[in-house]
Structures are given as structure tokens and as C-alpha cells.
Structure 1
Amino acid sequence: MSSPAIAKPDIDEYHPHLTAGRSVLAVTGVLWSSLQTLIPTISSAVVFFVSAMFLSPSDFGLVGLATSLVMTVFAFTPLAFGEALIQHKLLTKAHADSVFWLTVLFGVFYFLPFLIWATPIATLMGDAAIAAILPILALRIPLELAAAVPNGMIARSMQFKLIALRTAVATMVSVTICLAMLFAGFGYWALVGSQVSASLVACAMAFWVAKWRPGATFKWSALRDLANYGVFASGNRMLGTIKLDHMILGVLAGTATLGLFFFAQRFYHMLTQLVSGALSAVTLSLLSTLQGDREKTARAFGMASFVSVAVSMPMFCALAITAPTLLALLLDDKWAGAVFPVQAFCVAGVLASIGVVQSSLIKAQGKAQWWFWYQLMQQTAAVLVIAVTYRFGLSVLMIALMAKTVLLWPISVMMTAKLLDSSAWHYLKGFGHPVAATIAMSLGMLAVPFAMPDTAPVVQFILQLGIGGAVYMLFILVLSRSQIAELRRYIPKKGKPAQ
């Protein structure tokens, strides 16, 4: 008697059949993801500086405090189960459907308290003005959770061109709404409207681009398949999303101080997004497909790490040098207190950009819990630093925060080296050429004010960027010839098949 045929599970229709072209797809993905991040970053910069002209630090702080409350609650949702769909080797329809209904349920559940208890929450936080803002901002929670699965489907199939399209449309709509509200005199409500409209359009675009629709299936067994990764990835996302630092600083030091801190941190996030936005989804998808192949994993990781450092280090060093001139040219004196916080966040910007690639490697190797505990340590230390140092002023607080970040960073280096079966020194050696090129760039930029002390600030600023950029490009092209040649091999050329 022959044994009965075993029914196959639903086919993994969401994963691309990647073979030798993985690296080519990844580089193409980085190019599209760069466009995806470039459009919203430029748009955000425009909105950011236009808003700063219309609004005060206290207005920024008020919206920042309300946003921190919403995002802190949002941090405890299972949004990262959508990310687990990217990493899971064999994906079935039951996995996708079950995650969708899980996220939708949480979205509704976490939105309701802001709708029902907005006034008591605002009173508890010591600022009754945010009561009207909270229910509107909280709409972001169900909208972004509903989009978790279609976003995961798009990223899993590495269709980064479609992700760029989705982001571009959402960004353009939110920017238009924000600027229109600012010029119409709606004040800080323009910032609120831009956030909610961006989430709404991004959700609609995600479903349209993914061409995925939920079914009625809900299986606990499917969620259990994703739980090991999903729970810790949710924890990682929670630590990246939670805004306890904003809440504590806003309550203890007031909305004006929070506004300056929020301004500087937003500036840092915009630039970090230029690097992390282009690399995070691509490296996670690529490194997940390379599970088990240590040699290819190490090569892909090394290439991504080089790109991350080669872009982020000169960018943040240039900002640290030119921040006083840049802010003086763009804004009035009410934002002068944000100069040093912006410079301090430049240190965090370089480490955060490196951390994006580290995080992708650790998660792709099924060790999401490692990154969770590391992020928990960083966030807990940040809250303690703020609570202890806020009374000494924002400058002291920023120095202490950056010192904390640098002192804990070697832990991530050790985790990365362990997964690569390499030494920490061998890993860090790969940063040598970008570091040398950045030092040369910085010396060239710092020499401009000494060589031309009587030159107008705007001319000095342009010369610093021009000279710094030329020096950096010269040094990096000479020192990193082999890495650049390796990258060029994977850039698809028109009319030629992928390698």
C-alpha cells in the first residue's frame, strides 16, 4: 500500500528566485532605495526649514511631545511581524493573512485610548494643549499597521522601484498639505496634518503597489512560525520608535528645550535616512537570501558597510563643521541654541549609519534578540542620562548622550565580528580609507575661514563644501580603488545581462 501524498503548503510566491544575480539586484535596489529616501529627505528638509521660519521652538516641542506619546504607544505594536515575512524562508498565504489581521487588531486597539482619553492623558503630561492633537496623530497607528504586510511583500520580492514610487507619492501629498497649511496660518497643525496624510497615502499606495489582498485565514501556527524573529524584531522596532527621551525631556525641561532637541534630532534623522533608508531594506533582504553561505554573506556585508561609512562619515563631518553658518543663513536667532545639539548628533549619525548594516546582518542571521538587547541598553542609558543631566543645560546633556553612545558602540562591533567569524580589528580596518579621506576633507574645510577671514559667510560656506567635497572624492577614489571596482561590477549596464 503506497503512502498517501502529502499536500504541499502554499507556494512561497512572495520570494524572488534569486541566483547569481543577488548582488546586482541589491545594488539596483540601493539605487532605487536611494531615490526613495532622497525624495522624502529633500522634501522634509524644505518643510522642516519652512516650518522653522513660521513656528517657534515651543511649537516644535508641543508637536514633538504629542508625537512622542503616540509613537511610544505605537512602539509596542507587532509591526515588525511584517518584517518577519521578509526573513522567513518559506512563506505561505496563511503567514501573510495571519500577520495582517494581527496588526489590524492591534492598530484599532491602540488607537482607541487616544480617542477616548485624550484630555486625561494631556493633563497627566502637564500640557493640556496636546489634547486636541492626540486623536488626530494617533490615526497613524492603524494606518501604518495595516500597511505592514503589503510593505513586507514588496520588500521580500526586492521590488525597490515600486517602494520608491509609493514613497514619492506619499511624500508629495504630505508636503503639499503641510506647506498649504503653514501659509494658510494653521501653525503647528501643519506638522500634524503632514504626518497623518503621509501615513494615509503610504498605506493606500502599499496595497496598490503590492497587489496583495488579505484573505480570511488566521492561524496561530503561522504566527508561531514567525514568532522567534517577529517578537525580537518588534522589540528592536519598539526601541527604535519609542520616544521616552522626548517625553522625559519635555516634562522635565519644558517644550522650548524639547523643541531645540527635537529640531537637532530631526536634522540628524533626515541625513541618517539618506544612508539607512537606502541600505536597510536592501541589506536585510539580500543577507536573508544568503543565509548559510558565510563567504557571500561576508562579501555582501563588507560592500554594504563600505558604502555606509563612505557616505555617512563625510556627510556628518561636513555638517558638524558648517552647522553654525548653515543655521545662521537659513534661520533667525531663536534657533541659535540648536547649533551645538546638531553638531553633537553628527557623532550619532555616523554610528547609526554603520549600525543599519550591522542590524541587517544580525537579523538576517536569525539573531534579532541580540540587536534588541543592545538597543535596549542604548535606550535605557539615554533615558537615565537625560534624567540626570537635563538640569545642567542642553549642551551638557548632548555631550553626555554622545559619550554614552560611543562607549556602548563596541558591543555592536563585537556582535558583528562574531557572526562574521572574524576579529573586531579586521572588521574596523575596512573603515580606514573613508576615515582617512574624511580627515583630509575636514582639514580642507577648516582651512577656509583661516585663509579667507573677511569673506562673506555664504561664500565661505560654498567654498567649504566645494573644497571639502573635492578633497574627499580625490582621496576616496585613490585609496579605495578596489572597493569601488567591486561595486561597479554589480551595477547593471544597459543592454547587458546581470552578472
Structure 2
Amino acid sequence: MTGTLWSSAETLVRQALSLTIFVMIARQVGAEAIGTVVLAMSLIAVFEAAVSDGAVERLVQRHEIEPLHLDSAFWAVTLLSLLLFAALVVGASAFASLFDAAQLAPVLQALALYLPLSALAAVPTARLKRDLRFRPFALRALLSLGAGGGLGLWLAFQGEGVWALVAMHLTTAITSLLCMWIASGWHPRLRMSWRHLHDLAAYGAFSTGSRLVIIADQRIAPIAIGLFLGVAEVGFFAMARRVLELLTQLLLSPINQVALPALSRFQSDASRINALLRFLERAIALTSFPAFLGLAAIAPLAVELVLGSDWMPMVPALQILCLVGLPMAIEFNTPVLARALGRPDLSLYLALASFVAGLLLIPLAATESITLVAAAILARQLLLVWPLRIFLVRYLTGQGFVARYLSLAAIFGCAAAMAGAIVIGLAWIPVQASGLQLTAAAVATGILVFIVFLLLFARHTLISLAYEARQRLGAAQTASIGSGE
């Protein structure tokens, strides 16, 4: 619980700053600049997954590690990052020509520096996560986003356009790297053990493969949109998905960061794993259901108020993506569960199924509109990814669909009633009201209706969740006192 609190603080700070800064920069630079950087980062993100994940994640999951594990992982990911950095610099022009966007080449070459910066921070970050030391992450969020976001904002208001975004990404990465090294207190020695590296790679092959497929899957949409609809449409879709990702990370990342080490410690105790999963699912549903449905209801008002009328083409796609967030939220833990139980191969198979479906559906939808792309992503989530994740949880834990989702149905019903009340309420508010007044009234109405419906129809779920939360917090405090922390 202590780790979750610090992780929650770090994510809250990071996402609040990130959203504020990104919105302010987006209003200055426009959709085309956003789309250019998104296309460049789409390729870099795939390379980063190959560099920083896999063997490093094994450092968190493995019961015991030796100093040679850390040194071997550090030098391996560093050398690989330099090779991929060189490949990106050489191939940037060819990649840019695919989208008929000349500015994409120098942007990609500059952002390629992100790879070695990420690699240098990977092992120190893994050590902190392994030890459940999440306090430094909150400081990292504040400093890196403050430095990168501050520089990006200044350059955006100076009219530097896309280079404001490039400077923001690189400055954030440099500051984050410094924070992780200082906080971890670890420094590599100039040595490498092939035996220790092989031990990490044996686990990391599936984990890295899974991560690579997930990242590639996330990049299908912007690349397909860039090829068929243009860079500006990439910007609109990227902004819609960025809003969804920010909300998802705010709600789920704190738990997701703590879940892997926590579930790994319980991997031999099925009853404790099942109890923890049930608790997490209800807690997540209580926050994510109203957040996603509420955002879908107020999206037209919020986008015009926050981003301006130039960004209104993204509204239908954003509303559809909010619906994608519902099953994503309650099944977020499935890949983490598989890795914690030493079955990263199952995460890879799940990711491959999603990737293949996306490769078939999304490019076809991208020939029409970004709204249809969002609809294709929703269809894939509901018809393929969600059922597969339900089956996988049952396979790993024995929990059935009815037992898991019965307690969540009441929460969903309350959130749906809230969204309906918002839509109906907006229809009755006088049209003379300003956008800010309409949005404030909609949010207040939604919160009030959701609380009332929870007290009427989900009181038992609230009481049991609060009781279990107190128990877990008390157990964490007792363990902390017993360990002398």
C-alpha cells in the first residue's frame, strides 16, 4: 500500500503536468506538428521496447539477483541502444519519404537520442521498482516535466513549432535519467557475464517480444492514418488517444507499477493472488467507469474549452476511445499477472492476437476517417482482446467470468446512469451559458448522480471495498514497523 501511495503521487503529478503542458503546446503548434512528432516517436517506441524491456523486467521479477545481473543488463542495453540509434539516423530519410513529410527526417534523427538516454536509465529504474521504492519517481516526475515542459512551452510560444516538442522530449529524458541514477545509488562496473545475461534473456525473450508487439500494435493507427489521411489527421487522432492514455495512466499506472512486484511475491499463494485481483478490479472500476463514461459525455464541451475549436474533429474519435477504456481498465492486470506468475509467453500470445487483428482492421478503417479507426479499435477490444483476457485470467487463477464481473455490474450501472444524466442535463441548460459554465455544471451533475446511485444500488460493494482497503493498509503498516522502516 505504501508503494501504491507513492506511485499514485508520482503518476498524479506527472499526468497533471503532462496534460497541462501538452495542451498548452498543442494550442500553439497545431495538429501537423503533433502528428510529425507522433510518427517519429512511433518508430522510436518500438526500438525502445527492444532496448529497455525484457531482461530489465526480469530484474524486477526474479527472486534473487546478483551484481553481475545488473552490470550485464546495463552494458547489453546500452550497446544495443547505440546500434539502433545509428540505424535511425541513417534510415530517417527513407522513413520520412513514406509519408511525404520532409520535416519528419530531421525530427526523427534528433529524437533518436531518446534511445540511449532511455537505455542508461533502465537498470537504475528497475532496481528502484524491485525494492518498491517509488518515492524517487514522484520527484522525477516533477523535475523532468518541469524542465522539459518549461523549455517546450517557451519554444512553442517563440514560434519554434515542432522543435518545441522535440526539445521537450529530450530534456525530459535527460532529467529523468539524472534523477534515476542519483536515487538508485548504483553505478555499473565494466564487466559482463554471458551466463547472467542468458539467464535474463531466457525470461526476457517472451517479455520483450510481448512488449514489442504491444508497442507495434499501438503504432499501427498513427502510421496507417499518416499514410492514407495525412500528418494533420495523425495529430487529431494522437491527441484523442493521448487524452485516453493520460486518463488510463492516471487511474491504472500506480496500481500497475506495484502489481508486478506484489503479485510476484504471492506467486506461490493462489488464494492471496485471487483476493488481491478482486480488490484491485473493484477499486479500478469505481474510478475508471465514471471517468471514461463521463469524459465521453462531456467531450464536445471539454475539447472546445481546453483545446479550441480547431481541435473539434477529434471529438467523435475521443468518445469512441473512451468506450475502449472500459474493458481495458478492468482487464489491465492480465499481462502483469502472466508475467508475475512466470508466464510471459502468454502475454506474448495475447499481444500477437491483438496485433494481427489490428493489422487487418485498422489500415482498412484508416482509408476513411479517424472516427472509423477508433471504431475498429473498439470492435477489436470487445470481440477479441476482452474475451481472450477473461479466458487467460481463468486459466491462471481459476476465477470465472460471473464471479469476477457480478460485483462490477452495479458500479457500471451507476456510471452509465451518471453519463445519461449529464447528456440530459446539458439539453436543459440554457444555450446562453458559456463553455466553462456548461462543463462545470456537467461535471457537478455527474459527480452528484454517481454518488447517489452508488449509495442506493452499490452500497454493499462500497462497504466491503472500504473494509478491505483498511485491512490491507493496516497490514502494510504492520509490516513496515516490523521491518524497521
Fold equivalence (TM over 0.5)? yes
TM-score by length of 2: 0.92
Secondary structure of the residue that 1:431 maps to in structure 2? helix
Secondary structure of the residue that 2:50 maps to in structure 1? coil
- Alignment match of 1:461 (pick from 423, 439, 457): 439
Once residues 94 and 306 of structure 2 are traced to their aligned partners in structure 1, the CA distance between those partners, rounded to angstroms, is: 39
1:429 is aligned to 2:406: yes
Compared CA separation, residues 498 and 78, structure 1 to 2 (3 A): closer
Q: Deviations over 1:112-157 (max 9, x none)?
A: 1223343333234432211111121011111111211111100010
Once residues 223 and 130 of structure 2 are traced to their aligned partners in structure 1, the CA distance between those partners, rounded to angstroms, is: 35
Once residues 148 and 47 of structure 1 are traced to their aligned partners in structure 2, the CA distance between those partners, rounded to angstroms, is: 25
- Alignment match of 1:292 (pick from 268, 281, 293): 268
- 1:378 Cα deviation from its structure 2 partner: 1.4
Higher helix proportion? 2
Matches within 5 A, 1:127-146: 127-146=101-120
Task: Judge conservation of contact 1:248–1:387 (CA < 8 Å) in 2.
Answer: yes
Match in the other structure for 1:382 = 358
- 1:229 Cα deviation from its structure 2 partner: 2.5
1:329 is aligned to 2:311: no
Once residues 36 and 380 of structure 1 are traced to their aligned partners in structure 2, the CA distance between those partners, rounded to angstroms, is: 34
Once residues 475 and 146 of structure 2 are traced to their aligned partners in structure 1, the CA distance between those partners, rounded to angstroms, is: 30
Task: Judge conservation of contact 1:94–1:218 (CA < 8 Å) in 2.
Answer: yes
1:160 is aligned to 2:137: no
Once residues 200 and 290 of structure 1 are traced to their aligned partners in structure 2, the CA distance between those partners, rounded to angstroms, is: 35
Q: Which stretches in structure 2 are left out of the alignment for 5+ residues?
A: none
- Alignment match of 1:400 (pick from 350, 355, 376): 376
Compared CA separation, residues 252 and 93, structure 1 to 2 (3 A): same
Q: Deviations over 1:275-333 (max 9, x none)?
A: 22211110111001111011111111211222222211111111000000111222333
Question: Which of structure 1's runs of 4+ aligned residues deviate more than 6 A?
Answer: 493-497
Aligned length: 473
Q: Percent identity?
A: 26
Match in the other structure for 2:179 = 205
Q: Deviations over 1:436-456 (max 9, x none)?
A: 321232233223123334461
Match in the other structure for 1:55 = 29
Match in the other structure for 1:444 = 421
Match in the other structure for 1:345 = 321
Q: Deviations over 1:150-194 (max 9, x none)?
A: 111000100111222222221211111111111122111111111
Q: Deviations over 1:250-270 (max 9, x none)?
A: 122211211111111111111
Match in the other structure for 1:486 = 468
Compared CA separation, residues 70 and 80, structure 1 to 2 (3 A): same
Q: Deviations over 1:63-107 (max 9, x none)?
A: 211221222333333523211111111111111111111111111
Task: Judge conservation of contact 1:82–1:151 (CA < 8 Å) in 2.
Answer: no
- 1:400 Cα deviation from its structure 2 partner: 2.0
- Alignment match of 1:308 (pick from 262, 281, 284): 284
Q: Deviations over 1:188-241 (max 9, x none)?
A: 111111111111111111111111111233122212222332111112221232
Once residues 66 and 478 of structure 2 are traced to their aligned partners in structure 1, the CA distance between those partners, rounded to angstroms, is: 34
Q: Deviations over 1:448-478 (max 9, x none)?
A: 1233344614323212211211232344462
- 1:427 Cα deviation from its structure 2 partner: 1.9
Once residues 291 and 443 of structure 1 are traced to their aligned partners in structure 2, the CA distance between those partners, rounded to angstroms, is: 42
TM-score by length of 1: 0.90
- Alignment match of 2:144 (pick from 167, 170, 173): 170
- Alignment match of 1:418 (pick from 370, 381, 395): 395
Task: Judge conservation of contact 1:248–1:383 (CA < 8 Å) in 2.
Answer: no
Task: Judge conservation of contact 1:433–1:479 (CA < 8 Å) in 2.
Answer: no
Task: Judge conservation of contact 2:120–2:177 (CA < 8 Å) in 1.
Answer: yes
Matches within 5 A, 1:38-117: 38-117=12-91
Which residue type is aligned with residue 393 of structure 2?
T
